[in-house]
Structure 1
Amino acid sequence: MRILVTGGAGFIGSHLVDRLMELGNEVRVLDNLSAGSVDNLRKWMDSERFEFIHGDMREPKVVDEAVEDVEAVFHLAANPEVRIGAQSPELLYETNVLITYNLLNALKDSNVEYLVFTSSSTVYGDAEVIPTPEDYGPLEPISIYGGAKLGAEALISGYAHTFEFRALIFRLANIIGERANHGVIYDFINKLRRNPEELEILGDGTQRKSYLHVSDTVEGMLHVFEHFRKEDKTVDFYNLGNEDWITVREIAEIVSEEMGLHPKFLFTGGIDGGRGWKGDVKFMRLSIEKAKKTGWKPRLNSYEAVRRTVRELLATV
Structure 2
Amino acid sequence: MKLETIIILSPALNPGENGIVVGVAAVFCMSSVEADAQAGALWSSSDQQDGVTPEEGSRFGENHAMIQRRTRERMTLTALLESRLCPKAIVPQPEAGGLTSPKMKRRPPRTDPSRVAVASFGRAERARAQEEGAIRLGQPHAIFISGVAGFVGSKLARLFIDRGYPVVGFDNLSRGSRENLSGLLTNERFIFEKVDLSDANAVRSRFLNCHSRILISEVWHMAANSDIPAGIADASVDLRDTFLSTFNVLDSMKEVGIPFLAFASSSAVYGNLGEAPISEDVGPLLPISNYGAMKLASEALISAAVENWLDRALIFRFPNVIGVPATHGVVLDFVRKLRSTPNKLNVLGSGRQRKAYLHVNDLIDALVYLRENASERLGYYNIGPEDKGVTVSFIAETTVEAVAPGAGIEYGVEDRGWTGDVPRFSYDIAKIRALGWRPQLGSADAVRKAVVEIVGQEGHL
Q: What fraction of aligned residue pairs are identical, expressed as a percent?
A: 39
Tell me if 1:62 matches 2:196: no
Matching residue of 1:243: 386
Q: Note the residue ranges of structure 2 that are not aligned, 5 or more in a row.
A: 1-140
Aligned to 2:151: 11
Contact 1:58 1:98 in 2 (8 A): yes
* Secondary structure at the counterpart of residue 313 of structure 2: strand
- What amino acid is the match of 1:203? G
Counterpart check, 1:38 vs 2:181? no
Query: How far does residue 260 in structure 1 lie from its aligned partner after superposition?
Result: 4.3
Q: Secondary structure at the match of 2:182?
A: helix
Counterpart of 1:26, as a letter, is P
1:100 pairs with 2:240: no
Equivalent in the alignment of 1:201: 347
Deviates most, 56-65 or 5-14: 56-65
Alignment of 1:23-172 (within 5 A): 23-64=163-204, 65-66=206-207, 68=211, 69-128=215-274, 130-172=276-318
TM-score after normalising by structure 1: 0.95
Tell me, which stretches of 5 or more residues in structure 1 are unaligned? Answer: none
Amino acid at match of 2:379: D
Q: Residues 133-282 of structure 1 correspond to what in structure 2 (within 5 A)?
A: 133-228=279-374, 231=375, 233-244=376-387, 245-270=389-414, 274-282=415-423
CA gap 1:202/1:287 in 2 versus in 1, 3 angstroms: same
Aligned residue pairs: how many? 311
TM-score, normalization by structure 2: 0.66
1:299 aligns to what? 440
Residue identity opposite 2:446 in structure 1:
A
What corresponds to 2:59 in structure 1?
none
**What SS is found at the alignment partner of 2:216?**
coil
CA distance in 2, matches of 1:254, 1:218: 24
Shift, 1:12, TM fit:
0.9
SS in 2 for 1:43: coil
Residues 79-116 of structure 1, C-alpha deviations (whole Å, 9 max, x = no match)? 11111122111111100111111111112222211100
* Separation of aligned partners in 2, 1:120 and 1:76: 11
Aligned mates of 1:164, 1:11 — CA distance in 2 = 27
**Counterpart code for 2:146:** T
- Give the Cα–Cα distance (whole angstroms) in 2 for the partners of residues 239 and 285 of structure 1: 10
Contact 2:338–2:404 (CA<8 Å) still a contact in 1? no
The answer to whether the 8 A contact 1:205-1:267 is kept is yes
Q: In structure 2, do the counterparts of structure 1 residues 314 and 156 end up closer, same or farther at CA, with 3 Å as the change threshold?
A: same
CA distance in 2: counterparts of 1:145 and 1:109, whole angstroms:
27
CA drift of 1:128 comes to 4.8
Does residue 314 of the first structure (1) align with residue 455 of the second (2)? yes
In structure 2, the CA distance between the partners of 1:195 and 1:260, relative to structure 1 (3 Å rule), is closer
Deviation, structure 1 residue 129: 6.7
* Residues 209, 247 of structure 1: 8 Å contact kept: yes
What is the one-letter code of the residue matched to 1:80?
Answer: S
Deviation at 1:206, TM superposition (A): 0.5
Alignment deviations for residues 49-89 of structure 1 (CA, whole Å, 9 cap, x no partner): 11111111122233223262211000001111111122111
Matched residue type, 2:169 = V
Q: Distance in 1 between matches of 2:294 and 2:428?
A: 22
Check whether the contact 1:174–1:210 (CA below 8 A) recurs between aligned residues.
yes
Name which of structure 1's ranges 129-138 and 23-32 shifts more when overlaid on structure 2.
129-138
Q: Which moved more, 1:255-264 or 1:18-27?
A: 255-264
Task: Note if 1:284 corresponds to 2:420.
Answer: no
Aligned partners of 1:220 and 1:240 also within 8 Å? yes
Give me the whole-angstrom Cα distance separating, in 1, the residues matched to 2:316 and 2:399.
Answer: 28
- Alignment partners' CA distance in 2, 1:111 and 1:18: 25
